[in-house]
Structure 1
Amino acid sequence: MSEQIVKRVVIAGGGTAGWVAAAALVKQLGPMLDITLVESDEIGTVGVGESTIPTSRRFHQLLTIDEAIFMRETQASFKLGISFENWSGEGSHYFHSFGQIGRPSTWMADFHHFWLEARDKGFGGELGDYCLELKAAAAGRFATGPDATVQHAYHLDATLYARFLRRLSEAAGVRRVEGKIAQVEQDPESGFLTALVLESGTRIEGDLFLDCTGFRALLIEQALGAGFDDWTHWISTDSAFAVQTRATEPAVPYTRAIAHQAGWRWKIPLQHRVGNGIVFCSDFLSPDEARQQLLDAVEGEVLTEPRLIRYKTGQRRKVWDKNCIALGLSSGFIEPLESTSIHLIQVAVAKLIQSFPFSGVGAAQAERFNAQARHEMERIRDFIILHYHLNSRDEPFWQRCRDMTIPDTLAERLALFGEAAHAYQAADDLFRVDSWVQVLLGQGLTPRGYHQLARMMPQDELRQALAGVRDNVAAAVQTMPRHADFLQSYCPAGEA
C-alpha cells in the first residue's frame, strides 16, 4: 500500500470521460481534493456517444443538474428505448424499452409468465401492449414531471455535453491545463505514476491519476502495461463511421438500430440534427463500402465528413493499476449497440467516490474496484452478444455470429429462458428482467415452458386483468403530447 495521502487528482484527457469525472469529483469531494484536468484542443475525441440509458438521470441528480438546462445546452431529446430493425431478417422489428412490462406480479413469477399463459390460450396481444414507455415511443409521445413516471434517457451531443460539464467543473474549482502529454513519469521503485510532462515542459504532479485518453490508454497501458482481454471472438465488429445530418422530421423519442449484412447502423435524433453511424465487421465489409452504404441510407443534408473509428472489443485486465484508474475507452470497449459507454464512465466514477483512497492507494481497494468493473462489463458484454448470436439472417457475418461459441454465463441465461422463460437480474447487473425478456423474445427465442402460476387464475379473470393493464397504458399514452411539442415547451435548444 502507498502511504502517500491522496489529495492531488490529475485527469489525463477531456472529452466525456474526463469531464464527467471532473464534474462528479469536484461536486462530491471538492473541498478535499485538488483536481487538474489536462487536455489538448489539438487532439480530437471520439465524441460519438450520443445515446444514453436511464442511469444518466440518477447520475445527474447526484450532480444536482437541472434537466431542462442540460437538455437545452446539449441539443438533447428524450429516449424511451431502442427500435431494433431487421435483426431477424429484412422487415423484422422489435423494441427494447426502458419501461416495466405489465404490473408487478407475485414473488413467484414475473408478468411475462402470465402473458405467455394468455398467449397460449389465444388472447393477450403483443407483450409491448403492456409497457407505457414502448407504446409512447411507438406513438412519438412523451411527458415528464411530477405526475409522469416514464423511465427515460437522452439523445445528446457528446461534444456539447463535455463542454457543459467543463463549465460546471471549472466554476467549482477544477483547473484545466491545455497541452499534449509528452511523458509519463513513474517512481523507479514502486512504479506509481508521479507526474505528467507536457510538450511545453510543464510538469503536472499528482497522487492519483485518471486515464481518460481514449483508445490510446496512454497511462494505464502505455505506461503501466495493465493488459487487455480481447473479446473480438465474441463481438467481431471492429469499425464504425459516424456522420451528422440535418433533421428532416421531428425527433422521435427512441434510437433506431438497423441491421445490415455485416453489422448495424444507428439513427439518433437530437433537437436540430441527427446522429448517424454504421457499425461493421471489416472481414465482411470494406470501409469504402460501409461509408457509401451509410451515405446512401441517411436522410437530410450531410453536415460533417463521415469519420472512421476503428476499435477492438475487450476490457483492460486492470482498470485500477497502482495509482492510475482508467475511465471510458481507455478501460475497454464493448460496442455502442445498447448505449452503455457513458453509463460505464458514470458508474466507475461513482464507485471511485465511494471508495476514494484518501489515506493512500491500497491493493484491496484496487482489487475490489477491478472485480466490480470486470463483472459489470462481462454482463453487458453478454447482453450485447445476445443480439448477435440469436439471429436468423443468412449473410456470412450473421451465420458466424449464430454459430460461434458464447460465454458460459450467457449460455446459462439462454438455457434458462428457453426451458422455462426464466430471466433474472443478479446483484450489480445493469439490465433488468424486462430488458432481457424483450430482447430474448425479440431475437426469436420462444420458451418451451413457463411458470404455471397463471393457470391458477380463472381464464376470464386473467383476460380481464390483462385488458385492464393494456387499456391503462393506451389511455396514458393518449394524454401525452407529441415528443417534439414537449421538447419545444420544456427545453427548446437554440442553434448549436
Structure 2
Amino acid sequence: MKSTTIRNLVILGGGTAGWMTAALMAKVLGRVVSITLVESDQIGTVGVGEATIPPIQNFNRALGLDEREFLQATKGTIKLGIQFENWSRQGTQYMHAFGGIGKNFPFCDFYNYWLRARAAGDTSSLWDYSLNCQAALANRFAPLNQIPNTNLPGISYAYHFDAGLYAQFLRRYAEEKGVKRIEGKVCDVASNSDSGFVENLKLESGDIVEGDLFVDCSGFVGLLIDKVVGSEYEQWGQWLPCDRAMAVPSKSAERIAPYTRSIAHTCGWQWQIPLQHRTGNGLVYSSSHWSDEQAQDVLFGNLPGEPLAEPRIIPFKTGHRPEQWKKNVVSLGLASGFLEPLESTSIHLVQSAATRLIKCFPHRGIREQEVAEFNRQSRVEMERIRDFIILHYKANQRRDSDFWRDCEEMVVPDSLQEKIDLFRSTGKVFRDYDDLFTEVAWQQVLIGQGVLPEDHHVIAEGLSEGQLKDLLQSLKTLVQGTVAQMPSHEAFLSGRMH
C-alpha cells in the first residue's frame, strides 16, 4: 500500500459524525497531523441521533468538555435507560437501565438470586433492585457522589441532546484546536491511477483539497467509500425488518423524563426523547407493512405534545461495510453502516470508530495489516450490536400482526440463537469480550422480552430462605432510600444551568 507519511487528514462531511471525529483527532493528533473538514451548508444532515449511551461521557472527558457547558449548549438532559413498552406483549413494559442491578457477587450475578426467589413465589420485579430504573421512574437524578450515606456503587448515565447543537458545539471546539473548515460541495474526486488512492477533492468553487488520508462522513451517500473506492455494503434486512423512519419534534411535556421511551406498534416502534426545549419523536417502520400515510397517522396520534415541524422521512438499509476502511478512505457514521436507533448506538459507533482510527492511525504509509485489523474490529462490533437489536424483535409474544409473527418466526444468526437457548435452559448469559453490551444489559432485555430461564446458578442456593429474603428486602430498601434523597431531574438540570 501507499508509503507516504500521513500528514494531511481530510474529513468529508460535518454533522455529528464529522465534528466528533474532527474534535477527537484535533485533541489527540492536532500537533502532528493537519486536519481539514469539508462540508456544505447546502447538504442537510440526518441529525436525529439524540440519545446516547454511557460511554459518551468518556468521549466528552477525553476532550475535556465541561458537563455544564455541554448541557447548556446542546439543550441536553440526563438518560438513565430506555423504557420498552409493548415489545414483549401489548401492555407490558420493562427498562434497559444503565448500571448494575442488586449487588455484585463473585461468579454468579445477582439475577440468579432473584430467579431463585421468584421460583419460590416472590413477586418482586428484577427492576426493583435497579437504582437507575427506580430513579428514572421517579423522575429523579443526582450523581451518587452527591448522595450521602449510600453503599450503592453509583448511578450510570448518558445524555439526550440536540444532535445539531452538539455538532455546532464540537465545531467551535475543533476550530479552536486548529481544524480548518472549508465550505463547499464536492464536484469531482481525483484518484491515483495505479493505487486507486484518493488524492484530492475538487469543489464547485474550483478549490482543490489534497489529503493523505480521507475520512468519509458523508452520510448514507458514502461519496468516497461507495462511489469512489467501491466498498461493498452488506445488508441485514432479513433480520431487521424496518427500513424507514419518520421524525418530528414536538413541544416538551411538562415532565422531562430522564429516560428514552421506545413504544412498539403493530408494524414498528416509536421513540420519544425529552430535551430541555422540545421532545424528539420518530417512528421506525417497515414500508412493506405500512405506507408513509399510515405511519404518519400512528406517529401523530401518539405525540406527547403539539408538533413543531413537518415530519421528515428517512429511508435506510440496515447493514454495514465489511471494509469500513478501504485504500486511504475510512468511513464513519452513516457512511459505514446503519443499525436502527433502538439501543441508541449510532453516536457511539462514531465515537468507537474514531477512537479505533486513532489507535490504528497510519504513520509512514497505510499498511494492509493495520487496515485489516481496523475492519475486523469494526465488523465484530457491528455484529454484536446487530444481535442485541435483533433480540428485541425475535423474542416477542405478540400475535396482533404479521409483522410481529414474522419476527418471532425468523431464523436469527447462530451467535444470537445460541445465547437465547443457553439463557432459557440454564439462566446463564455471557458477554463476548468485544461486546458493547454488558451481561446486565442482556439479562434485562432477555427477561424483559419474556425469555425466562428454567434454572438458576447453583451458587444462589448458598443462602438460606431467610437470608435470601433479607438480602432482597435490604437491597430494595437501599435503592428506595437512595432515590428518595435525589432531587428531581428538572431540579438537577436547573442547577446545572446556573
TM-score range, shorter chain: over 0.9
- Report what 1:93 is aligned to: 93
- Report what 2:151 is aligned to: none
Deviations 1:329-350 (A, max 9, x none): 0000010000000000001111
- Report what 1:348 is aligned to: 353
Q: Distance in 1 between matches of 2:454 and 2:47?
A: 43
- Report what 1:455 is aligned to: 461
- Report what 2:111 is aligned to: 112
1:411 equivalenced with 2:410 (yes/no): no
1:474 equivalenced with 2:480 (yes/no): yes
- Report what 2:470 is aligned to: 464
- Report what 2:494 is aligned to: 488
Paired amino acid for 1:187: N
1:201 equivalenced with 2:206 (yes/no): yes
- Report what 1:276 is aligned to: 281
What SS is found at the alignment partner of 2:225? helix
Displacement after TM superposition at 1:124 (Å): 6.3
- Report what 1:294 is aligned to: 299
Q: Distance in 1 between matches of 2:140 and 2:230?
A: 49
Q: Distance in 1 between matches of 2:99 and 2:125?
A: 15
1:31 equivalenced with 2:36 (yes/no): no
What SS is found at the alignment partner of 1:454? helix
Paired amino acid for 1:178: E
Q: How many residue pairs align between the two structures?
A: 491
- 5+ residue gaps, structure 1, are none
Deviations 1:57-85 (A, max 9, x none): 01111111111110110000000000100
Q: Distance in 1 between matches of 2:497 and 2:159?
A: 12
Q: What does 1:279-428 correspond to in 2, within 5 Å?
A: 279-394=284-399, 395-428=401-434
Q: Distance in 2 between matches of 1:412 and 1:491?
A: 47
Q: Distance in 2 between matches of 1:145 and 1:22?
A: 33
Q: Distance in 1 between matches of 2:236 and 2:294?
A: 25
1:130 equivalenced with 2:135 (yes/no): no
- Report what 1:172 is aligned to: 177
What SS is found at the alignment partner of 1:256? strand
- Report what 1:430 is aligned to: 436
Tell me, yes or no, if the aligned pair for 2:6 and 2:363 is still in contact at 8 Å.
yes
Q: Distance in 1 between matches of 2:497 and 2:452?
A: 42
Tell me, yes or no, if the aligned pair for 1:23 and 1:165 is still in contact at 8 Å.
yes
Tell me, yes or no, if the aligned pair for 1:78 and 1:152 is still in contact at 8 Å.
yes
Q: Distance in 2 between matches of 1:112 and 1:88?
A: 19
Stretch deviating more after TM superposition (148-157 or 72-81) = 148-157
Tell me, yes or no, if the aligned pair for 1:83 and 1:257 is still in contact at 8 Å.
yes
Deviations 1:179-213 (A, max 9, x none): 11111211000001111111111110000000000
Q: Distance in 2 between matches of 1:288 and 1:454?
A: 52
What SS is found at the alignment partner of 2:166? helix
TM-score between both structures, scaled by the size of structure 2: 0.97
Paired amino acid for 1:104: N
What SS is found at the alignment partner of 1:128? helix
Q: Distance in 2 between matches of 1:486 and 1:16?
A: 26
- 5+ residue gaps, structure 2, are 148-153
Q: Distance in 2 between matches of 1:66 and 1:235?
A: 38
Q: Distance in 1 between matches of 2:144 and 2:253?
A: 28
Paired amino acid for 1:285: W
Q: Distance in 2 between matches of 1:381 and 1:356?
A: 26
Paired amino acid for 1:377: M
Q: Distance in 2 between matches of 1:146 and 1:205?
A: 49
Deviations 1:442-490 (A, max 9, x none): 0010111121211121111111122111111110000001101111111
Paired amino acid for 1:425: R
- Report what 1:211 is aligned to: 216
1:187 equivalenced with 2:179 (yes/no): no
Tell me, yes or no, if the aligned pair for 2:11 and 2:18 is still in contact at 8 Å.
yes
Q: Distance in 2 between matches of 1:134 and 1:300?
A: 24
Q: Distance in 2 between matches of 1:24 and 1:329?
A: 18
What SS is found at the alignment partner of 1:220? coil
Deviations 1:279-308 (A, max 9, x none): 000010001111122112113221111000
- Report what 2:61 is aligned to: 61
Q: Distance in 1 between matches of 2:472 and 2:407?
A: 37
Tell me, yes or no, if the aligned pair for 2:144 and 2:155 is still in contact at 8 Å.
no
What SS is found at the alignment partner of 1:167? helix
Q: Distance in 1 between matches of 2:89 and 2:455?
A: 26
Paired amino acid for 1:459: E
Displacement after TM superposition at 1:437 (Å): 0.4
Deviations 1:149-168 (A, max 9, x none): 21000000000000000000
Identity across aligned pairs (percent)? 47
Q: What does 1:222-261 correspond to in 2, within 5 Å?
A: 222-261=227-266
Displacement after TM superposition at 1:145 (Å): 6.1
Distance 1:420 1:491, change over 3 A: farther
Tell me, yes or no, if the aligned pair for 2:140 and 2:488 is still in contact at 8 Å.
yes
TM-score between both structures, scaled by the size of structure 1: 0.98
- Report what 2:150 is aligned to: none
Paired amino acid for 2:288: D
Deviations 1:420-460 (A, max 9, x none): 11112221210001100000000010111121211121111
Tell me, yes or no, if the aligned pair for 1:124 and 1:466 is still in contact at 8 Å.
no
Q: Distance in 2 between matches of 1:103 and 1:160?
A: 38
Tell me, yes or no, if the aligned pair for 1:267 and 1:277 is still in contact at 8 Å.
yes
Displacement after TM superposition at 1:380 (Å): 0.3
Displacement after TM superposition at 1:250 (Å): 2.1
Paired amino acid for 1:277: G
